[in-house]
Amino acid sequence: MKKIGIIGSGQVSQSLARGFLKYNYPVMIGSRSRQKQSELESLIGGEIRVGDFPKTAAYGEIIVLAVKGSIASDALQTIPSPALKDKIIIDATNPIADSQPENGVLKFFTDQNHSLMEQLQASFSESMFVKAFSCIGSALMVNPHFDGGLRPTMFICGNNEEAKMEVKHITDLFGFETEDMGGVEAARAIEPLCMLWCIPGFKSNAWGHAFKMLK
């Protein structure tokens, strides 16, 4: 099993770490904070490893980016480039602005013709970014249960076909029907799905839904 290095230590990181451990992937979680690093060991348990961002990226044969969108680039900048070179980066981030949602609608710091993942792919061009896990809540990221055994759709995109196949293997394993939306530009459409996903949450405190593409 390929080793997974998760940059970020929030809800998404913890949920995906549990999922990878469930399927016997070796996992390291990265946090800036030494205190959080020791908390994570007891929070997640199992065979979890923890480290700082550079150590975690160096460990991961596949990297997961799960930090606040506004500092995603800064977080990757702290990692020496050999630890990122030629690696798949599963990008779960969303470009959520710091300002408050308006009537339940999140605000983004990007616009409709420029996604966060395109910016990251351009800045870290030796890595292969694949958008995934960005438009579903952290509690539903691993084998979510829906009536009738329905598998929700996981929309992915990225420029490298082999990287997307590798990520599809993971998202299939985690209980999704994976839909490849094409190149990195498709992140302009996938990232805003997070706004739509969050509206029922902000308006009615309903967080248990997922998207499904019917054909």
Written as six digits, the tokens of 69 are 């969108």
Q: Smallest distance from the beta carbon of 103 to ligand NAP, in angstroms?
A: 19
CA distance 196 to 189: 11
How long a stretch of residues is the chain? 215
- The residue ranges of DSSP E strands in 134-207, in sequence order, are 153-156, 177-180
Selected binder of ligand NAP within 4, 12, 142, 170 (CB under 6 A):
12
Q: Smallest distance from the beta carbon of 181 to ligand NAP, in angstroms?
A: 16
Which residue, 8 or 19, has its beta carbon nearer to ligand NAP?
8
* DSSP SS3 for 34: helix
Long-range contacts of 39-48 (CB under 8 A, 24+ apart): 40/9, 40/14, 43/14, 44/14, 44/17, 44/18, 46/18, 46/21, 47/21, 48/17, 48/21
Written as six digits, the tokens of 160 are 């490298």
* DSSP SS3 for 89: strand
Q: Which residue is nearest to ligand NAP (CB)?
A: 10
Written as six digits, the tokens of 180 are 């490849």
By the rule CB under 6 A, 50 interacts with ligand NAP: no
Which residue, 10 or 46, has its beta carbon nearer to ligand NAP?
10
Taking CB under 6 A as the binding criterion, the range among 2-10, 124-132, 142-150, 179-187 that sits at the site for ligand NAP is 2-10
By the rule CB under 6 A, 75 interacts with ligand NAP: yes
Taking CB under 6 A as the binding criterion, the range among 41-49, 71-79, 120-128, 144-152 that sits at the site for ligand NAP is 71-79
Q: Which residues contact 109 (CB under 8 A, 6 or more apart)?
A: 69, 70, 95, 96, 97
The 85-104 contact track toward ligand NAP, x by CB under 6 A, reads: -------xxx-x--------
By the rule CB under 6 A, 8 interacts with ligand NAP: yes
Selected binder of ligand NAP within 18, 68, 151, 209 (CB under 6 A):
68
By the rule CB under 6 A, 209 interacts with ligand NAP: no
Q: Provide the binding-site residues for ligand NAP, judged by CB under 6 A.
A: 8-13, 31-33, 36, 66-69, 71, 74-75, 92-94, 96, 133-134, 137-138
